[in-house]
Amino acid sequence: MCGIAGVFSLNSNLGAEHRCVITRLNAWQAHRGPDGEGLWSSDDHSVSFGHRRLAIIDTGSSGNQPMSDVTGRWTITFNGEIYNYQVVRAELNQLGYRFATHSDTEVLINAVAAWGFLGLRKLRGMYAFALWDNRNKELWLARDPYGIKPLYVAQCNDLVWFASQARALAECVPLENKRDPAALAGFYLWGHVPEPFSWWENIEMLRPGSVQRFQAGKKIATSEVFFDIPETYAEAEPHNMSREEIRDAVKDSVQHHLVADIPVGVFLSAGIDSNVVAAFATELRPGTKLRTITLGFDEYAGTPEDEVPLAEEAARALGSDHVTVRIGKEEFDTILDHFFARMDQPSIDGLNTYLISRAAAAQGLKVVLSGLGGDELFGGYPSFRQVPFLISMGRVLPSSKWLRDRISGTFRHLLPRGVPPKMAGAIHYVGEIGAAYLFRRSLHLTEELATLLDETWLRAGLEKLQTESSFQRIVAPVARAGKPVHAQVSVLESCCYMRNQLLRDSDWASMAHGVELRVPFVDVGLLEWLAPAVSSAAPPSKQDLASCAKHFNPILAKRPKTGFTTPVAEWIRDIHEPRTWRLHGWADTVHRRFRTPPSQMQPLLGALAS
């Protein structure tokens, strides 16, 4: 996993100043790839690529990037891993393609050379890349189907800029950098900036599972979708799966995710997902001692939220080489500035991944597997119960808006302490899946935003976000295909919460320490295998998942779900308004850090300190 960047000129040649910006982008993203740096410009000076390398596969210099194929037609700058590259390479060999390296990067180039953009359907992995076709003078930008790896694009004055981090573009490229109202509204609605928007109005995220092609002289890029998650659910023929089938599917994915030329570790919590991954990793690598890491918090010690005792017990049972890292408020205070310096865009999450990746890096680990994505496939979130409930409530509750306003207004004043403020507005979010999901995943409800954002931001932001209707649009193919609500919630969780929050934060928070985070439950191979089951009337549950791994400790399956949380609300109590509801205060703190660009903030803070 690496950091990529580049620029393509649609009209004229690039100058030294443009290449200078790529050097700056490389320097900005250096933490993403501490093992090497590469710069490349095309002979016709129309395109320039930068690359920072984290060496995982073919770790020698032959794997360096930007990389050209043996024909010299293609040059790539690529961030990610192709887990099934050996299988695809064998297939390409049979077709007569030659390889100069042992890297997955060259397999990716030749897959495109052989099969065009549809060749990407053959790949299992996480990736974002820019590929230059010197014959057709065309720039390809592409991203994996789930959107595990980010790729941000900014088109300005006939120049197309791209990078792995939006903030790198905002801070290194001469762009206008206006705030996107959709980002502001989205951040307060959900705690993250939803794709395709970014914190900066002229920087956008490339659509996952798609290829965008830019050609000299043409301002409009052509876009082709090669993989669509909702369509995969929609097209799946419902089928109940046996535990053996689930076991084979998950085991296969974990096996693929273990591909590396360096040691691979596992982030181990007390939850089912990470323990299943660790159990399969142990089973698949007999004779090799698996390395596991658990993160614990001083504040949780001795409480049911403390994951450490169970995780340590599980590690003992697995016989892994285990490390527990505990962190408290004192240490949190020391890392806060670095944490915000690495945060790509405002997010209320990511701290947990940041902390455990930091611990992994301290242990010398560069590749770590995580249980992220298990809840989306195996119905682990409360949303799988709550969304159908809210939909059904639409038939029972009065439909009059006036009456609903009165009811929610009354509830607002009667809410007991400890109940989220948004519960008062629940009555407005019943009947439809889009509304119900919006309620379930919102940090603040739409009506609460008026006290948080000025109406100019809010109006423009909500207009761009199209909150409920955008959710409806995402599930439309699945609903049209008559798939149950469970499958629709799985699609929403995968394409919204997981993509915009979990995967986005996992990327910058792990790369902040030069650690590659792999997610075996977020895999197109596994999805194609399991989609028929998830779309069936009896979708597989977390208990089914728990029972399919040989070395899984059954005591873990009995633990109530808690999620991978941090005591951040307690940690910031003294630097923030103590009366705010849990993460609401944290959201304000995050926004405060992102209101002032760091370059302007530092001298100011320096002056204040003096």
Partner 1 sequence: MNILLLLTDGYGSLGGISQFNRDFMAALNASMAVNRVQALPRLIPNEIKGAIPEAIVYDRSASGSKTRFTWHAIEHAWTPVAPDLLICGHINLLPVAYFVARLCGARLALIMHGIDVWRPTSDPLTNRLARSVDAYLSVSSLTADRFVRWSQASPDRMSILPNCINLDRFTLRPPDPTLIARYNLHGFRVIATLGRLAPKERYKGFDEVLEVMPKLVDRFPKVKYLIIGDGEDRSRLTAKAASLGIAQNVVFTGRIPEEEKVSHYSLMDAYVMPSSGEGFGIVLLEAAACGIAVIGSNADGSREALMEGQLGMLVDPHKPDELTAAILRTLERSTPRMRPSGIETFGIDQFQLRVDRWLWRQEAAIRAKREAA
Q: Shortest Cβ distance from residue 450 to partner 1 (Å)?
A: 8
Q: Which H/E stretch holds residue 132?
A: strand 125-133
Residues 97-156 that bind partner 1 (CB under 8 A): none
- Cα distance between residue 177 and residue 187, in whole Å: 17
- Dihedral sign computed on CA atoms, order 30, 33, 38, 42: negative
- Cα distance between residue 463 and residue 458, in whole Å: 8
Whether the ω angle into residue 532 lies within 30 degrees of 0, i.e. cis, is: no
Residues 173-192 that bind partner 1 (CB under 8 A): 179, 184
φ and ψ of 144, to 5 deg: -65, 160
Helices 433-441 & 383-396, crossing angle to 10 degrees? 130
Closer CB to partner 1, residue 266 or residue 465? 465
Size of site (CB under 8 A) for partner 1: 31
Closer CB to partner 1, residue 43 or residue 455? 455
Rule CB under 8 A: choose which of 593, 598, 599, 602 binds partner 1.
Answer: 593
Length of the chain in residues, anyone? 610
Q: Using the 8-state DSSP alphabet, how is residue 200 labeled? A: B
43-51, 109-117, 563-571, 586-594 -> range binding partner 1 (CB under 8 A): 586-594
596 near partner 1, judged by CB under 8 A: yes
207 near partner 1, judged by CB under 8 A: no
Residues 434-463 that bind partner 1 (CB under 8 A): 450-457
Rule CB under 8 A: choose which of 421, 431, 525, 598 binds partner 1.
Answer: 421
Contact residues for 91 (Cβ-Cβ < 8 A; gap 6+)? 122
Rg, the chain, Cα only: 24
Q: CB-hemisphere CA count at 13 Å for 351? A: 27
CA 424 to chain centre: 31
What is the bridge-based pairing of β-strands 47-53 and 3-9?
Answer: antiparallel
**H-helix segments, 296-400:** 308-318, 329-342, 351-362, 374-377, 383-396
Q: Shortest Cβ distance from residue 499 to partner 1 (Å)?
A: 25
Residues 545-574 that bind partner 1 (CB under 8 A): 574
Q: Shortest Cβ distance from residue 465 to partner 1 (Å)?
A: 16
420 near partner 1, judged by CB under 8 A: no
Q: What is the dihedral of CA 202, 193, 461, 128, to 10 degrees?
A: 40
Closer CB to partner 1, residue 177 or residue 562? 177
Q: Shortest Cβ distance from residue 602 to partner 1 (Å)?
A: 11
Residues 258-287 that bind partner 1 (CB under 8 A): none
Closer CB to partner 1, residue 118 or residue 450? 450
Rule CB under 8 A: choose which of 158, 176, 337, 577 binds partner 1.
Answer: 577
Q: Rule CB under 8 A: which residues touch partner 1?
A: 179, 184, 421, 450-457, 574, 576-577, 579-581, 584, 588-589, 591-593, 595-596, 600-601, 604-605, 607-608
